[in-house]
Chain A
Amino acid sequence: MKDLKHLLRFEDLLQEANNDLVRQAKDEGKLALAYNCSYIPEPLLDVEGCFGVRLRAPNCTSPDMATYYMTTRSCPYAKSILERGFEGGYNFADALIGQECCTTMNRMENYFTYCDLIPNEKFFVTCVDVPINRTQWHEGYFERQLMHKVLKPMKDVYGIEITDEKLAASIEMHNEMCRLISEIGEYRKEDNPRITGYEFHIIQLVTQTCPTYLIMDMLRETAEELKTRKPEPKPWFRTRVMLVGSEVDDPEYTKLIEMCGAMVVADRYCFGSLPGREQIEIKEGERPLHALARHYLSNNMCPRTMGPRNIKDRKIYIYNKAVEYKAEGIIFHNMKFCEYWGYERAQDAHWLEDAFVVPASIPTCQVERDYTTAAAGQLRTRFQAFIESLEIKCIQDKKGA
C-alpha cells in the first residue's frame, strides 16, 4: 500500500511528549493540561487557551528513580510516567488533571507535587473523584467534581474562565476529530482493509498527545487520502484480532502483533478508540459540562465500574465489537501489576470462551506485558501460537461447513 502522507510526521510526533506541536501551542501562549486517564474529558482540556496532552513515556526502559519511589511491584506505565517526569520530559505542563480511579496512578500523580517535578510555580495537580456507579445522579456528581477540581483551579490559578460557549466550541472540534477517526477506523472492517492496525494506532495516539487544533488539517487530509487508497492485492494478514486491555500507548506493540501475521482490527484498550471516539451529544437544554460528564461516565468501558450491568456490558461490548470488526480472535492483555486488568483480563477471556452472557464463544489469548516491548521474543511466541490456532480453527470451520 502507498504510505500515508502524514504517517512519518505522526510517528515523529510520538517520539516525545514535548513534541513540535506541543511546543508550538506553548509558544502561542496556550496552557498545557496533562492527564493520564480516559475518564478525563478531552474537550474540557482543549478549551480556548488550553490544550490537553495525554502523557506517555516513549522509550522509557529503566525507570530507576520511579522504582525507588514506587518499587518494582507497581504498574510500569505509572512508573514510566513518573520517570519521564524526573527526566524533565513534562516540564512544559501547566497542570496535571489527575484522578483517584486507580490508586497507583494517583500515587504517581501525587509525586509530581511531592517531588516538585515541574519547574513552574503555578503548576498544580488536581484529583477528580470519578464515581464508580453510573446513574443520572452520578452524571451530575461528576459534573460538579469537574467544576470543583478543574474549572475552579483553572480560574483561580491561571485566570482561565471555562464558559459554556468555550466548552461547546471545544466539543464541536472534538466531535469533528472523532468523526474523522471513526471514519478512518471503519476501514478496518473491510475484508481487505486499506489501513493497518499499526497505522490506525499511530493516528489515534496523535489525537490524544498533540493539540487537537494543530492536527485537524492533517487528520482531514489523511481521511481524504484513505478514501482512495488502494489496499494490497490480497490481505497481507493471516487472521484478524481484537486487542483488549490496559494501556497500549506504544504502537510497536501493535506492530509486533501484525508482524506475527494478525491484523489488529479493533482497539478496546486505554488509549484506544473503542470506546473513546464517539461524538458527544449536547442534549436540548443541557449544559456542555453536563454533556461531557454524562458522555465520559457512561461511555467508558473501564473495568472500574461496578454492578452486574456494567460487568456484563463490558463483555457484551467486546463481543459486539469483535463481531462488528470481524475479529476471529481476541488478545486480552494487561500491564504487569495492573489490578483492574489483571482480574478483568482473566474474567473476560473466560466469559468469551464459555459464551457466558454473550451469544457465542470467541477464541482468546491472554498475555501480560511490561510498558515497553522489552519481552518481544516471548510475546511473539505467544502471538504466533495464537494466530496459528486461529488459522487451524478457521480451516476446520470451513471443512465442517
Chain B
Amino acid sequence: MKILGKIAVGLFGLLTALALIFYYNLDMKLMYYVIVPFLTKHYDSRKIIRKL
C-alpha cells in the first residue's frame, strides 16, 4: 500500500509538473529560446554547395 501510495504521489507530482509545463507553455519557450536557435546556428554554419 505504501508503495502504491508513493507511486500515486509520484504520478500526481508528475502530472502537476506536466500541467504546469503545459499551461506556462514551457515546452515551446524552450524551443523558442534554446533549441531552435541552437539548431539554426548549426544549420547556418554548414557549408552547402547548392545545385539547381
Residues of A within 8 A of B (CB): 346-347, 350-351, 354
Contact = CB atoms under 8 A, between A and B. Distances in A.
Interface string B17-52: 000000000000000000000000000000000011
Q: Closest 6 A-B residue pairs measured CB to CB?
A: A350-B52, A347-B52, A346-B52, A350-B51, A354-B51, A351-B52
Contacts of B51: 350, 354
Nearest to A354: B51
6 contacts: A346-B52, A347-B52, A350-B51, A350-B52, A351-B52, A354-B51
Nearest to B50: A350
B50 to A, nearest CB: 9
A350 B52 CA distance: 7
B6 to A, nearest CB: 65
A339 to B, nearest CB: 16
Contacts of A347: 52
Nearest to A347: B52
A308 to B, nearest CB: 15
A368 B51 CA distance: 21
A347 B51 CA distance: 9
Contacts of A346: 52
A346 B52 CA distance: 8
Contacts of B52: 346-347, 350-351
B48 to A, nearest CB: 15
B38 to A, nearest CB: 33
B11 to A, nearest CB: 57
Nearest to B52: A350
A346 B50 CA distance: 13
Nearest to A349: B52
A351 B51 CA distance: 9
A4 to B, nearest CB: 41
Contacts of A354: 51
A265 to B, nearest CB: 26
A303 to B, nearest CB: 14
A137 to B, nearest CB: 32
A350 B51 CA distance: 8
Nearest to A343: B52
A354 B49 CA distance: 13
Nearest to A350: B52
A354 B52 CA distance: 10
A348 to B, nearest CB: 10
Contacts of A350: 51-52
Contacts of A351: 52
A164 B16 CA distance: 85
A179 to B, nearest CB: 38
A55 B19 CA distance: 68
A88 B46 CA distance: 58
A354 B51 CA distance: 10
A385 B52 CA distance: 24
Nearest to A356: B51
A47 B41 CA distance: 66
A347 B52 CA distance: 6
B51 to A, nearest CB: 7
B4 to A, nearest CB: 66
A10 B52 CA distance: 41
B18 to A, nearest CB: 48
A201 to B, nearest CB: 29
A350 B49 CA distance: 13
A342 to B, nearest CB: 12
